[in-house]
A and B are shown apart, each in its own frame.
Chain A
Amino acid sequence: MRQLLPQHRAILSLFALLFGGLFVGMLMSVRPQVALSSSSSSRNSSASLSVDRIGTLREHQQELNAELSRLRDEQAELQQQSTSSQSNFEEIRTQIDQQQQMAALVAMRGPGVVVTLNDSNANSLPDEVADVNRYIIHQQQLVTLVGVLWSNGAEAISINDQRITDQTSIYCVGSTILINQELMAPPFTIRAIGDPNTLANAASNSPLLSDLWNRQREFGIGVDVKQKAQVQVPAYTGPLANRHLEVAP
């Protein structure tokens, strides 16, 4: 049999490590789930047709978002070039930078908090009549949490990979959650930049969030609040709706 060259051996061991890592990662990421609904077995052909269509629309959405981001970067570059050549454009340059950041079009970082919300880790519902809704994260809890963080001085917020803008809606269709019209699944990681102490205190103690913490105690909903020296939130990558909106004269 032919001897393996050292570099082949290195590649082989790298693959072994990667697969080993994948396997361990898989084990680590498996967590008990609430047995929610058995309706998934009632899938028929027309259902799978619309499920496929939704999948295609989501893929197209990702492509469009990528193109939009690319064009925004290109525009920022062109604005930069246009202003760098003339010193009297410095003022407008500063304003453009500032307003782009405020409009959530720039990825930001700074101190803050990371709040993680997850569906209940209960292995099964206590009895047949228990309400499944109490064991999962809903639109309302995300909306209120985001509102509480803004009210306590958050300067930028994201949920998973979606930046929260002045037009962002958090919306439930059945058991799915749409944020910026992007489908999301738990766990929800909410990142907020601001004073870590104030934000963590608000997320943990605001009376507006008492329902969330009650559900954690009673039904095992996952709620975790951590202060961070550095949090990063992505830029908004969706469209800015202004078909009906204009600057008033």
Chain B
Amino acid sequence: MNRFRIRRGILRQSLLTLMCMLIGFAVVTQLRTYENIANDVVKLSPEQRAELMISLIDRNAATEREIIALRQQNEDYRRTQSNGTSTLDQLANDLNRYKLHTGAVQVQGGGVTITINYPLRAADVIALTNEVRNASGEAIAINGRRIVARTRIEEDDNAELYLDGQIQHAPYTIQAIGDKETLMGALNRVGGLLRIWNEIDGVDITIEPTNVITMPRVSNQPEFRYAQPAPKEGQ
């Protein structure tokens, strides 16, 4: 009986030690990540630090704008709930806001049109979409096809390019909706992907501001087969 109690004590202590070790490991790893980031920042040139600061300031301003909009929307929900009027319009607005990003709806806006007359590989197109997103593109289409996060960008053994299974040929027209000046400046920047392709690889590229770009909805939006919502913390 006594021995059993002692054994249980040892088991409990071992578990506690193990738990503490794990906590220690997690805490230190976290601290090291912060430290690594701080060290990386220290190593940057003044120009790079300025670039980083501008990027963070822009980001925080965008977050603040969305916070203000969400507060207003939530206030509107509460008001319509309390006075019993319909909230269908609000729900439809929210739904459309999500659809802008999932590609489930046709979208439009000002932006830029890039033309590239060169056979691009899948890795090039993946890098290019990242470059346009870096340049603060809000939506992208290639050859009239909306590109969202899950768009399949692939090539076959003959290096032919496919977007969601549809073969694509040069010249490619890449459209990006966003702030025209920001997009023009960022996509034309020295050392940027398009400048490198143009100046070093001799790729024929044009970039032009465009007043109204319309992009179709995605041809199919595959449902989730594996992913399901994770239970909220504390549930």
Contact = CB atoms under 8 A, between A and B. Distances in A.
Interface residues of B, number: 110
B63 A166 contact: no
B149 A166 contact: yes
Interface size class of A (residues with CB under 8 A): 35 or more
Contacts of B60: 57, 60-61, 64
Determine the main DSSP class of B at the interface with A. helix
A163 to B, nearest CB: 10
A167 interface: yes
A29 interface: yes
Contacts, number: 324
A247 B106 contact: yes
A17 B12 CA distance: 12
A221 interface: no
Nearest to B99: A99
Nearest to B139: A245
Contacts of A104: 149
B42 A40 contact: yes
Given A21-B22, A47-B42, A245-B139, A181 B59 contact: yes
Contacts of B78: 78
B55 A21 contact: no
Interface in B49-72: 49-53, 55-60, 62-67, 70-71
B73 interface: yes
B175 to A, nearest CB: 12
A219 interface: no
A238 B63 contact: yes
Given A29-B28, A164-B149, A244-B177, A156 B227 contact: yes
A178 B41 CA distance: 12
B150 interface: yes
Interface of A: 14, 17-18, 20-26, 28-29, 36-37, 39-40, 43, 46-47, 50-51, 53-55, 57-58, 60-61, 64-65, 67-68, 71-72, 74-75, 78-79, 81-83, 89, 92-93, 95-96, 98-112, 139-140, 143-144, 146-147, 150-151, 154-157, 164-171, 173-176, 178, 181, 183-186, 193-195, 208, 232, 238-248
